[in-house]
Chain A
């Protein structure tokens, strides 16, 4: 099976840029998808595929990938971006399995 590793927490000053990373072998073969989760709420998809955003997601959210690392970048972080962010990818074992990272808590200062 595959594992995805995320930093537990990061902080960013209001209006600045923050990059959230997700590491795992499966990311060499598959794109990550990213989810924002606010306290007491269900996760919401913010980025998927190479760098796609669902309708309604601000363009300050962007995704990228290099080697075994996928990144979610928030450019010009807003107070409402304070949340947990989870990455997800297909397992690299060849079986159709999905895995999630442990999540990153983003604090906007």
Chain B
């Protein structure tokens, strides 16, 4: 059974870079047909797609975050990562990683990691 687990710093100072890693077990991130995603949820609010990386290494980002976001893949450790630069309080959220299946008719995310709360504060 595929499982994802987020890790990283739960507290980041304003203007610094948020860094998170998602460890994948029970399957390989190099498998074709899937992409590996980051999604966030500010406290009390809805979900926001951040971006994803395909097994090929191609990346797609939310235009509202694109200038600050980098998603990368570490095949040797079967994990992928998120970096978000120049953070502000508005970036405070629970960050989830998830596997995405993208087909001609749409996309879905399954499974999800448990999420990690990242607070931006000095």
**B-contact bits for A8-37, CB 8 A (1 contact / 0 none):** 000000000000000000000011110100
Instruction: Please choose the segment from B14-22, B25-33, B75-83, B103-111 that sits at the chain A interface, where 4 or more of its residues have CB less than 8 A away.
Output: B103-111
Answer whether residue B112 sits at the interface, using C-beta atoms and an 8 A cutoff.
yes
Nearest-neighbor residue (CB-CB) of B101 within chain A: A48
Q: Which residues on the B side are within 8 Å of A88 (C-beta)?
A: 47, 49, 107-109
Query: Looking at chain A, what size class is its interface with the partner chain?
Result: 20 to 34
Residues of A within 8 A of B106 (CB): 30-33, 48-49, 89-90
Measured CA separation A55–B108 after assembly (Å): 14
Q: Among residues 50 to 72 in chain B, which have CB atoms less than 8 Å away from a CB atom of chain A? A: 52, 60, 62-63
Contact A43–B112 (Cβ < 8 Å): yes
Q: Looking at the assembled complex, report how far the CB atom of A38 sits from the nearest CB atom of chain B, in whole angstroms.
A: 12
12 A-B Cβ contacts within 8 A?
A: A30-B106, A32-B106, A33-B107, A42-B114, A43-B47, A48-B106, A88-B49, A88-B107, A90-B107, A98-B100, A100-B46, A100-B49
- Within the complex, the shortest CB–CB distance from A51 to chain B, in Å, comes to 12
Min CB–CB distance B116 → chain A (angstroms): 10
- Bound CA span A25–B45, Å: 22
The answer on a CB contact under 8 Å between B60 and A30 is no
